[in-house]
Homo-oligomer: A and B are copies of this chain.
Amino acid sequence: MAARKPRRKQDIEKRREEILKAALDVFMEKGYGTATMPDIAQRAGVAAGTLYLYYPSKRELFVAVVKNFIVSASLIDLLSEMPKDDFPTVLKSIVKNRFDLVKNPDFSRVPLIMSEVQRDPELKKLWLKDFLQPIMQRIEIPVRMMGATKKFREYQPEVLVRVIGGMFMGFTLLRIVEGDASPLNKLDQDKVADDIVNFILHGVMNEPKGGV
């Protein structure tokens, strides 16, 4: 009812972030069209009118949310410190230690936000350029390095990047959608990771001793 928290300059940025976070939550939860500014205001703990001091419209707020999501989503970091070890070791490390993407609050939001993004040409372009392509590029580095070695089969890098990237994406999507109903929940997660790693390394075929 009364004015809350008069702020120093620094605090204003903080409030901007609170609003952004609240907006992300609400947009994810309800979808762009169903989310309301009062919803968001309440979640952010401010009055509805206050939102307009920070963002000129619902649309702009949404755009800001998506942009912020793109830059802040920690997905890229997941792949950031690709160590210098040999590929199987690195892969195992990634899958075992960081492939808890389902629990990563950012990642699990991707499918919810993505469909809204697809509907806005500007956001769609942004999403592709600043989110998807960076991830692809990050994957492309080791993939290309692999291509230079006899140890690995020869694939067109553009394809391999998308096959492996898509695999992670789709696998995670499935876990999200299946949720508690997923039979994966009952398995030893270490063995799940082993299977994933082995599939990437060797595929489904048992190589006959002594060559194809």
**Which A residues fall within an 8 A CB radius of B?**
29-35, 87-88, 111-116, 118-119, 124, 127-128, 132, 146, 150-153, 155-156, 158-160, 162-163, 165-175, 177-179, 181, 183-184, 187, 191-192, 195-196, 198-212
New A-B contacts (20) at CB < 8 Å, excluding given A153-B204, A155-B198: A29-B119, A30-B119, A31-B119, A128-B178, A152-B205, A153-B202, A153-B206, A156-B192, A156-B195, A159-B184, A159-B196, A162-B171, A163-B167, A163-B196, A165-B170, A166-B170, A168-B170, A169-B169, A170-B173, A201-B204
The answer on a CB contact under 8 Å between B212 and A184 is: no
Among the listed B165, B200, B207, which residue makes an inter-chain contact with A212, where contact means beta carbons less than 8 Å apart? B207
Q: In the complex the two chains form, is A132's CB within 8 Å of B174's CB?
A: yes
Stoichiometry, as copies per complex, reads 4
A205 touching B210 in the complex, CB below 8 Å, given contacts A30-B119, A119-B29: no
Q: State whether A205 and B132 are in contact (beta carbons under 8 Å apart), knowing that A33-B33, A116-B31 are contacts in the complex.
A: no
Whole-angstrom distance between the Cβ of A12 and the nearest chain B Cβ = 12
